[in-house]
Amino acid sequence: MTTSSDLATDTLRGNFVLLVADGLSLLLPQHEVGAAEYLGDTLEAADEAGLFKLAGTADQRRFAALSAQMTLLPVFPSGRFLVTTLSGEDREISWCWNELRVLINVELPLHPLPQVMLAADTPVSHYVELDGKLAWPCNAKQMSAFALAERGVR
């Protein structure tokens, strides 16, 4: 099945992955989310602000954890033990989550955010209600570009 969001009919249809980072729930198209890994090792701050690396190894991967405002957290939070890469990014980052859930063949009403709330650079323009909570559909490239551009809690 093709994964797509149909904004014209206000319905989100297809296969998505729900990525939860504490107060932030993102819905990304399934084909943009790489296989999940378990993070069992300790991270430490990398040279670049907001990015982390595996402590005591030569591993070149860089890890990131998002805040509820979709910005990079300066201190790595506890509980982010699930790691995925995302496609379409300009550089590969390993993103760390509390929870990850694959949603197959979903059909969810898509609600536009009021225009007065939208920033010019926001990657989020709609929301869906999922299990009584709000989740934010977006794509990996926009999400990553926004988070990396902000570099800090908004």
Partner 1 sequence: MSFEHSALIPRAAARLAEYAPGRTIALPPHTTFALLEQPVVFEVPGAARHACGLLSWRDMRLPLLDLNRLLHGEVDEEYIRVPRFAQVVAWQPAPYWPLQYGALGLSSMPQTIVVEDESQCALPEDNARWTLFALSCFQHEGQVIPVLDTARLFGAAGARKIL
Residue-by-residue DSSP string for 10-77: TEEEEEEEEEEETTEEEEEEGGGB---EE--S-EEE-SSTT-EEETTS-----EEEB-TTS-B-SSPP
Residues 25-64, interacting with partner 1 (CB under 8 A): 26
148 in contact with partner 1 (CB under 8 A): no
Separation in Å, CA 127 to CA 38, 123, 134, 140: 28, 12, 6, 16
- Shortest CB 104 distance to partner 1, Å: 25
CB 65 within 8 A of CB 76: yes
108 in contact with partner 1 (CB under 8 A): no
113 in contact with partner 1 (CB under 8 A): yes
* Of the residues 28, 123, 128, 144, which one makes contact with partner 1 according to CB under 8 A: 123
Q: For residue 72, give the nearest of 91, 52, 92 by alpha carbon.
A: 52
151 in contact with partner 1 (CB under 8 A): no
23 in contact with partner 1 (CB under 8 A): yes
Q: How many residues bind partner 1 (CB under 8 A)?
A: 24
Residues that bind partner 1 (CB under 8 A): 23-24, 26, 68-70, 111, 113-124, 127, 134, 136, 146, 154
